[in-house]
Amino acid sequence: MVQGQYAINPLLLNPEVQQWIRTTTNSLDEIAFAPLPFDGISRQEIMQQVEGYRKTLGKLPNLVQNPGLLFPVKLSLEQCSSEATAHYKAEIIKNNLGHHPKEIADLTGGFGVDAYYMAQSGARVHHFELDASLAALVQHNMTQLKGNITCHHADGIKSAMVMDFDLIYLDPARRNTQKNKVFRLEDCSPNVLSYLDDLLERSPCVMLKTSPMLDLHLGLTQLKWVREIHVIALNNEVKEIVWIMSRKSWGQDQSQIPHDSISTENPKVYAVNLNELVPAGNSSLSETGVIFEFVWNQPEPNNYSTPLSYIFEPNGPLRKIGQYASLTQRFHVMRIGPNAHLFTAEQWVDFPGRSFVVMDKWPFSKSQMKQFKGQKYNITTRDFPQTVAQIRAAWQIKEGSTEYLFFTTDAQGLKWIILCHKANKLEKI
């Protein structure tokens, strides 16, 4: 229990104050210089709550409906998970650990969004937070939300060394001492590389959330016992990467599989694309946004082709993963080039990404580019020496239109201009 100077100001919970925080149209600058709207509440307190509410409206649309919810400083909100990604992580736990109560430790608790949704999986969650004021705020919020969560103002790493859990979760801070953003594992706090072996002694499973900027090959090189990688996008923008590490086979569905049959050198990879809406009720992972799953590091056949009748662009999480062997096998498509991240086929396929009908195509040249000068097109470049901005500037091509120009390079090094439009229902038959 956090007491003393870190106790919540009870005046913030006054219904009139809560209503004002959620309805005021004043900007933060106006609030900063206007007379204080309430006695007993400091300017810093009222501005923190207004800014926090506004920042979480899109990120936590369901949780912010609770009128008693309080918000931390901006930095704590920037790294916290969205409701959609937190719900997905809870589904990973529920689908693999089962529905009966489990003990989970969130060692880097922060604002507590992940802890709250993990508790919805049926687990009892221990939320550890070093910042006393944040720990007190989370404790208040979890009481309001009736979450099955025990809040600890304590060092999560040290606490985990003397307690046993069914799962340990970490979301290391991605800011250095100068408050600059970082993403490499050794630059984050805590440095999970220093504690991973000890944590796996205290728990059969460690779940780690990392920056979307972290290279998967580097992560696999540095981490140990990786069983699963979940690359999670929200509306096609990759937001986080979740790593599941365990010395034993992970998950209920693998209970009958010999431990050695699931190689930690070739873990299972999930490409996930969510929207902001959190699914209601019980759901399986396949219902929560998994668009593709495969085993890491499969040998990729050299199936390349110049552009054919259709062009397919993988969704964001698939491009982040970059392992395309399973895609070419399952969907009977071919790659245009080894670095282009574009696929092509003579027939339309139900591909996890955008689909386009090729209207025409030309080897790139200045003479061919003259026909597009001054017109309107959407432009995409994939493995091409010029950027979209450079192409628009050089040929005065404006934004807009229903037609697309793709600029790319094939396996033989030939540069292409591909004119196309999005495939409609009739063209997919």
Arithmetic mean of pLDDT, 393-421: 96
Same domain, 69 and 105: no
Last residue within a domain, chosen from 78, 97, 120: 78
Residues listed for the chain:
429
Say which range, 2-6, 157-161, 280-284, has the weakest mean pLDDT.
2-6
Total count of domains within the chain: 3
- The answer for residues whose C-beta is within 8 angstroms of residue 172's C-beta and 6 or more apart is 108, 185, 188, 189, 190, 191, 192, 208, 210
- Does 165 lie in the same domain as 55? no
Write down which residue in 295, 325, 342 finishes a domain.
295
Q: Mark whether 392 and 258 lie in a shared domain.
A: no
Cα-flanking dihedrals φ and ψ of residue 153, to 5°?
-85, 90
Mean local confidence (pLDDT), 19-41 = 94
Q: Residues 8, 65: one domain?
A: yes
Q: Decide if 358 is inside a domain.
A: yes
Q: Is residue 354 part of a domain?
A: yes
pLDDT at 100: 59
Per-residue pLDDT averaged across 358-386, rounded?
A: 97
List the one residue out of 358, 413, 361 whose CA is nearest residue 384: 413
Minimal CA–CA distance to 119: which of 96, 94, 156?
94
Which run of H or of E encompasses 160? helix 156-160
CA distance 126 to 149: 6
Q: DSSP string spanning 162-229?
A: TS--SEEEE--B-B-TTS-B--SGGGSBS-HHHHHHHHHHH-S-EEEEE-TTS-HHHHHHHSSSEEEE
* Whether residues 201 and 87 fall in one domain: yes
- Domain endpoint, select from 295, 325, 343: 295
pTM listed for this prediction = 0.87
The Cβ of residue 2 has, within 10 Å, a number of other Cβ atoms equal to: 21
Q: Is residue 302 part of a domain?
A: no
Give domain status of residue 261, yes or no. yes
Residue 256 lies in a domain: yes
- 242-251 pLDDT, tens digit each: 999 998 765 6
Q: Are residues 240 and 339 in the same domain?
A: no
Mean pLDDT of the chain: 88
Same domain, 247 and 387: no
**Residue 5, pLDDT score:** 44
* Cα 151 to Cα 142: distance, rounded to the nearest angstrom: 9
Residue with the larger pLDDT of the pair 8 and 87: 87
- pLDDT the model gives residue 256: 38
Percent of the chain with pLDDT over 90: 71
Taking CA atoms, 229 is separated from 216, 286, 322, in Å, by 9, 15, 13
| pLDDT confidence bin for 253, thresholds 50/70/90 | very low
Look at residue 301 and tell me if it is in a domain. no
Are 108 and 220 members of one domain? yes
CA distance 339 to 328: 15
Query: Is the model's pLDDT at 279 over the cut of 60?
Result: no
SS3 409: strand
Note whether 309 and 345 are within 8 A (CB): yes
pLDDT of residue 258: 38
CA dist 39 to 9, 10, 11, 277, Å?
12, 12, 9, 38
Pairing of strands 167-170, 103-106: parallel
- Percent of the chain exceeding pLDDT 70 equals 89
If pLDDT is split at 50, 70 and 90, which confidence band does 76 have? confident
Tell me: the pLDDT tens digits for 148-167? 899 999 999 999 999 999 99
Residue 301 has pLDDT above 90, yes or no: no
Q: Over the stretch 262-278, which tens digit does the pLDDT of each residue have? A: 456 789 999 999 986 65
In terms of domains, do 224 and 126 share one? Answer: yes
128 lies in some domain:
yes
Mean local confidence (pLDDT), 38-60: 94
Provide the CATH number for the domain around residue 26.
1.10.10.1110
Give first-to-last CA distance, the chain, whole Å.
62
Indicate whether 316 and 417 sit together in one domain: yes
The pLDDT assigned to 254 comes to 42
Domain assignment of residue 170, given as a range: 80-295
- Please tell me the predicted confidence (pLDDT) of residue 101: 57
Q: What span, in angstroms and rounded, lies between the C-alpha atoms of 135 and 131?
A: 6
Instruction: Say yes or no: 254 and 186 in one domain.
Output: yes
The count of other CB atoms within 10 Å of the CB of residue 20 is 16
State which H helix or E strand residue 128 sits in. strand 124-128
Report which of residues 31 and 249 the model is more confident about.
31
The CATH number covering residue 214 comes to 3.40.50.150
Whether 255 has a pLDDT exceeding 50, the answer reads: no
Separation CA 3–CA 146 (nearest Å): 20
Residue 145, CA distances (Å) to 2, 129, 142, 317 in order = 18, 18, 5, 32
Please indicate whether residue 319 or residue 297 has the higher confidence score (pLDDT): 319
136-145 exposure pattern, b = at least 16 Cβ within 10 A, e = fewer: bbbbbbbeee
Residues 6+ apart with CB under 8 A from 79: 110, 171, 173, 174
Q: Which of 237-241, 281-285, 366-370, 390-394 shows the lowest per-residue confidence on average (mean pLDDT)?
A: 281-285
199 inside domain: yes
- The reported pLDDT for the residue numbered 178 is 67
Residues 91 and 143 in one domain: yes
Q: In the structure encoding, which two tokens stand for residue 282, read together? A: 């019980």
**pLDDT average, residue stretch 349-374:** 96
